[in-house]
Structure 1
Amino acid sequence: MIDSRRVVRYRTHVQQLDRERGSLADTAVLDLGVQETGPDGAMWALAIRGAEPDEADLVWLWTLRGAPHAYRRSDAAAVAAAVAPWSDADAAKRIFDASKPLKAAGIPILEALDTVAAEMRSTVTAPMAKGEVSTRLHEALPEAYQRFCRSCNAVHLYEMPFRLSAVRAGLELEPHTSPPVLKRIKGFKAVSAFPERLDPVRAYLHLCGPATVKEAAEYLDSPVKEVKAHWPHDAVEIDVAGERRWILAGDEAALREADAAPVRLLGPYDLLLQSRDRGLLVDDPAKAKALWPVLGRPGAVLADGRIAGLWRPRKSGRKFTVNVEPWGRLTAAERKAVEAEAERLAGFRGVALTAVDVAG
């Protein structure tokens, strides 16, 4: 039987949080995509995995769950194929309530995504802000594709079809733009095949395993039935704290031998925190609520093969402080490592570290 600490240490290792240096080519999390949310997003996630690539070698795409993710630029067309819905049922699940008017109008969901993609492709001939693209699509597409938005007090496309169609159109996001700016991916040509490493179900099972079919489905926003039909043939069942889970056969030995225990300051949306088995990562409901609030997520302190606390950056003028809230006593070595990681974060942000404030 495998316990939760072993699982976290395995994920720490396969997600390469225990390495000091790495290249773009061998950074495993880029196969699943590195979520870009907040100032400590994709580039910080890569930095704490020892990879500091030139941004020109990366491409930002709206993919899984409609979230922006960074990938290797050389993988762009293959990623578009890998993250595409498998069927109308899958596409309907991924776009939520936007599927209802399309179905009522007799428009197949995949056909609708292709229609939006074609219109986006013809519209975005030069870098264009999301709002302008949305206005153009509102003018070009029929009622079934659109809704009244109370917050905007306007009618425009449903959000998820807009996002999921962008990659089908061969459009990327300019990094660090808000509102987002879309532009064509240079040399993009749609493909249907992709390397096995980019298969999102397989990548999830490798990087966030051992896992269940339901967890993988939640991560993809896909129906359980669809994910089960695409479950890797070499997935093997394993017992984790009395629960049936699955892992790729080639990863089982690494799981059983896992002992990675570095200290890292994980960004709020780091992949280690994105697996859908939160109770395995943090078994205390109060701590889980603090780590994954509805709004304003903190980062997590990784230490000794466990989530050991929370951290938040504080910047005021020239002062940059990292506030750390441990969930137990940090050893002297762990505290020193936390301070070193805070220095790394300050360097990443291009500021001088004023202090590391460790509660308690």
Structure 2
Amino acid sequence: MPDVDREQVLAYRIAAHGLHRDVAEPLGLTVFDLGLQSTQRETAAISLAARLPGPVTEESLVDDPRFVLAWTHRGAPHFHRADEISRVTAALVPLDEDDAMARMGWQRKQVEAAGMSALDGLFTAARAMRKVVTRVMTKGAASEAVTKIIPDGLSYWCRGCQATHILEQVMRLAAIHGGVRLEAGAQPATLAPLEGRPRMRTTPDVGAATAVVRDYLHLHGPATPKEAADFVGTKAAVVKRMWPEELAEVRFDGRTVWLPSADVGALENPPEPDVVRLLPPWDPFLQSRDRAVLVPDRARQKEVWKILGNPGALLAGGEVAGVWRTKGSGRKRLDFTITAFDPLPPAWRKAAEEEAERVARARGFADLKVSWS
């Protein structure tokens, strides 16, 4: 059983995530095997800018028909390759009631109180969304229409809107099964039917679910079933039923962890992580569920992953070396504040400022200012 250290693990992940900029086309980036999260408008473009050698703009994914945006893993919005959306949808069918309830996450108690099983609630909502979303419409309009035709237990009274809405997590999880996607680049959030409107399937596809776990282990490994389950949004016991074959056991930090057997050589001898990148909040590299591996210091973890308002992360020399934030001055100038955890060599600071230029261009700003703190 190979024994690896933290430096090898981080160097391996940096390479697996395409952060060496050795892939020219977005379709070839392995991060799209799991999907590229797009929680804020520009985050996906900034993630691309960190990985592609060529220019990137906000429209790089928005206007590319080869990609589709949808609520998928954990109900979060992700860009996926359009020709793989059926496989992604199949992977998101819960294996059983226990799995379905676990995926309800923060709204589990409300679903339990609805008087129906999580599976029934999920697919009842999916059928309603399929019936309602037959054209481009705002999330608010879709929620209002769906709420009228679902059981009362799946909705709640919203004080802020002074209206009744479908439970947020139920809506997000059900949308893809109802053949509904998100309109990329639209504000406010806007829904539309998926092209071709595939027939809804309710039967689990263990093979498709297993592929998600395997892709997680490739990008974020070596890892445990618990960490893979946290990414999927379910329990470790459920993920063990999705556990891939042809995995290798690895000894890391005194415990046994796993990754695809084909990746062992790359883990044992990864390329030097001699890159400096500005990663946006929710960048795929930051989605590893073993945060203590990425950032061992707990105080620094709290700086990178906040309850609200995550900053971006400065990646330098194989480490998360700091955080960064921006403030726009109209559409003319983007002001960066980069906070390094420790003093950085001048070459790394210069490289970070060059990365800031790429981020500014990706967000449509012609001018920028970088301040260090």
Could you say what secondary structure the match of 1:296 adopts? Answer: coil
Report the Cα offset of residue 312 of structure 1.
0.9
Are 1:236 and 2:245 matched, yes or no?
A: no
Structure 2 residue corresponding to 1:76, chosen from 85, 94, 98: 85
What do residues 72-92 of structure 1 show as CA deviations (whole Å, max 9, x unaligned)? 111122211122222111111
Query: How far, CA to CA, are the matches of 1:179 and 1:255 in structure 2?
Result: 42
Query: How far, CA to CA, are the matches of 1:117 and 1:174 in structure 2?
Result: 18
What do residues 172-229 of structure 1 show as CA deviations (whole Å, max 9, x unaligned)? 1011223311001111324776986982211111101111111111111101110011
What do residues 68-113 of structure 1 show as CA deviations (whole Å, max 9, x unaligned)? 0001111122211122222111111111465556556663322322
Contact 2:17-2:219 within 8 A present in 1 as well: yes
What do residues 220-247 of structure 1 show as CA deviations (whole Å, max 9, x unaligned)? 1101110011111222221112232111
Structure 2 residue corresponding to 1:221, chosen from 228, 233, 239: 233
Report the Cα offset of residue 300 of structure 1.
0.5
Corresponding residue of 1:26: 28
Cα 1:285–1:105 shift into 2, 3 Å: closer
Corresponding residue of 2:150: 141
Contact 1:77-1:188 within 8 A present in 2 as well: no
Contact 2:105-2:233 within 8 A present in 1 as well: no
In the alignment, residue 21 of structure 2 is paired with which amino acid?
R
Aligned length: 359
Report the Cα offset of residue 250 of structure 1.
1.0
In the alignment, residue 263 of structure 2 is paired with which amino acid?
D
What do residues 303-323 of structure 1 show as CA deviations (whole Å, max 9, x unaligned)? 111111111112123332221
Query: How far, CA to CA, are the matches of 1:4 and 1:150 in structure 2?
Result: 47
Corresponding residue of 2:11: 9
Structure 1 residue corresponding to 2:313, chosen from 285, 290, 300: 300
Cα 1:326–1:111 shift into 2, 3 Å: same
Query: How far, CA to CA, are the matches of 2:47 and 2:273 in structure 1?
Result: 17
Q: Which runs of 5+ in 1 are unaligned?
A: none
Corresponding residue of 1:154: 163
Could you say what secondary structure the match of 1:217 adopts? Answer: helix
Are 1:57 and 2:66 matched, yes or no?
A: yes
Corresponding residue of 2:214: 202
Are 1:347 and 2:358 matched, yes or no?
A: no
Corresponding residue of 1:92: 101
Structure 1 residue corresponding to 2:132, chosen from 123, 127, 136: 123
TM-score by length of structure 1 reads 0.93
Contact 2:155-2:166 within 8 A present in 1 as well: yes
Percent identical residues:
38
In the alignment, residue 213 of structure 1 is paired with which amino acid?
P
Cα 1:16–1:197 shift into 2, 3 Å: farther
More displaced stretch, 98-107 vs 85-94: 98-107
Corresponding residue of 2:294: 281
Structure 2 residue corresponding to 1:46, chosen from 45, 48, 52: 48
Contact 2:123-2:177 within 8 A present in 1 as well: yes
Could you say what secondary structure the match of 1:247 adopts? Answer: strand
Cα 1:236–1:151 shift into 2, 3 Å: farther
Query: How far, CA to CA, are the matches of 2:364 and 2:155 in structure 1?
Result: 42
Are 1:254 and 2:266 matched, yes or no?
A: yes
Query: How far, CA to CA, are the matches of 2:107 and 2:353 in structure 1?
Result: 46
What do residues 39-68 of structure 1 show as CA deviations (whole Å, max 9, x unaligned)? 431122123211755532210010111110
TM-score by length of structure 2 reads 0.90
Cα 1:97–1:355 shift into 2, 3 Å: closer
In the alignment, residue 138 of structure 1 is paired with which amino acid?
T
Query: How far, CA to CA, are the matches of 2:13 and 2:68 in structure 1?
Result: 25
In the alignment, residue 30 of structure 1 is paired with which amino acid?
F
Corresponding residue of 2:343: 329
More displaced stretch, 174-183 vs 184-193: 184-193
Are 1:188 and 2:166 matched, yes or no?
A: no
What do residues 112-165 of structure 1 show as CA deviations (whole Å, max 9, x unaligned)? 222211111111111011111111111111222222334434332111111111
Query: How far, CA to CA, are the matches of 1:198 and 1:58 in structure 2?
Result: 22
More displaced stretch, 153-162 vs 114-123: 153-162
Could you say what secondary structure the match of 1:176 adopts? Answer: coil
Contact 2:250-2:258 within 8 A present in 1 as well: yes
Query: How far, CA to CA, are the matches of 1:171 and 1:337 in structure 2?
Result: 41
Q: Which runs of 5+ in 2 are unaligned?
A: none
Could you say what secondary structure the match of 1:25 adopts? Answer: helix
Contact 2:46-2:362 within 8 A present in 1 as well: yes
Could you say what secondary structure the match of 2:181 adopts? Answer: strand
Root-mean-square deviation (Å): 2.2
Cα 1:299–1:46 shift into 2, 3 Å: same
Which stretches of structure 1, 4 residues or longer, exceed 6 Å deviation after superposition? 191-198
Contact 1:9-1:261 within 8 A present in 2 as well: no
